[in-house]
A and B are shown apart, each in its own frame.
Chain A
Amino acid sequence: MNPIDDDTLQAYVDGELDASDAARVDAALTHDDVLARRVRQARAVRAQLRAAFDPVLDEPVPERLSALLQPPVAMPVTPLVVPVGTRTDTTRRRAPRRWFVPGAALAASVALLAVTLWWWRPGGELVRMQGDQSFAAGALERALDHALVSEPDAKAMVSIGLSFRSNDGHICRTFVLHPAPARAGLACHGDAGWELPVLGTAAAPEGGELRQAASSMPPAVQAAVDARLRGNVFDARQERAARDAGWR
């Protein structure tokens, strides 16, 4: 009988042998203590790995992960339009944790600071359709027009995130609508108002960390920002200047 080599033994332990080879090992094990010991050792490694990692299966899945798999939000609007190619390039270029957060100045504006909407009307129309394009309306439009990240208010129902000039020259701003389920989107200013190319469900931030604030943006919104962002996002001074200039 051929001796049982290491590869065969490993394959035996991992259930990779066919029935006849497995039977050959079984037979050898009955009278070969050294072989039996090697099998035990190989099994022990496998068992310890299972003991170490199988408990992960029973852990609750973090909200920030399960939120990524929620269906697109049924806003009274057209669905997300993100070219697949763009999104792929984006993810390949940048992991979400690094997102587009190059420096501390940006950190201040990424934090989703809130603005008061004292004229908020529950149930008011937030989106209007024009042709097949959707535009901000009501309180959302007013927040986009007036709210500054540098003038926060904790009671806000619309939070403005980033403001920046997109690569087609228009000024864009990300926003989050707070009434649950939170929705996030991107608005870009044009002659007809704030067009909304992307809306999605926002994951609830799990903590105060910047990374998590960035992560709470739905991937589709991140991708839309990435696809448009050229240069830096506005700091507080640029944001105010842009507002004073009517977002032109």
Chain B
Amino acid sequence: MNSSDAVREGLIPLLPRLRRLARALAGQVADADDLVQIVLERALARAAQWRPDAALDKWVFAIARNAWRDELRARGRTQHLFAPEEAGEMAADRASAQPAQQLELAMALAALPPDHLEVVALVLVEGMSYGEAAELLEVPVGTVTSRLARARATLQAHLGKDA
């Protein structure tokens, strides 16, 4: 089996997690799945660069994060992806489970700076360790920790009434 086949087959079981990560990053279902499509195409095109001793999930999540950053740049807006009136729709989409609390969560996520949102997505949604996230983002662990703390504080301010 060549590396292209290995990557292609290895990606199939990763699709649900990749979609979850993309949903956390991109928000809207359609945007998120467009992002996944970009990621899959890049991963297949770069299959030769994947080393079998490297974890395929981390490799493809790194591609996802970079593709998402590229998309942000392409849109020319690095802070707020969605206009306020879109945020409502996006929120509804992002947290389809409906409760008002989740709506608030989604709107709070949409307002996070990209640096914070990607740490939240990798650590709190995908479940990576700080060290794994730091490696993927190519920043020191301390940076991951501080970004996560600030993102958490922002999210808690939106949500934390009941805790």
Residues of A with Cβ closer than 8 Å to B?
6-7, 10-11, 14, 16, 37, 40-42, 44-46, 48-59, 61-62, 64-66, 68-69, 71, 84, 87-88, 90-92, 95-97, 215, 219, 223
Contacts and interface: CB of A to CB of B under 8 A. Distances in A.
Contact of A71 (B5, B36, B97, B105): B5
A32 B157 CA distance: 22
19 contacts: A14-B130, A41-B160, A44-B160, A49-B105, A52-B95, A53-B23, A53-B125, A55-B97, A56-B19, A56-B23, A65-B19, A65-B37, A66-B15, A68-B40, A69-B40, A69-B44, A91-B42, A95-B74, A96-B41
A interface: dominant SS: helix
Contacts of B48: 84
A178 B5 CA distance: 25
A223 to B, nearest CB: 7
Contacts of A88: 42, 45-46
Interface string B60-74: 000000000011001
A46 B16 CA distance: 19
B12 A52 contact: no
Contact of B105 (A16, A37, A48, A61): A48
Interface in B8-32: 8-9, 11-12, 15-17, 19-20, 23-24
A215 B48 CA distance: 24
Nearest to B120: A49
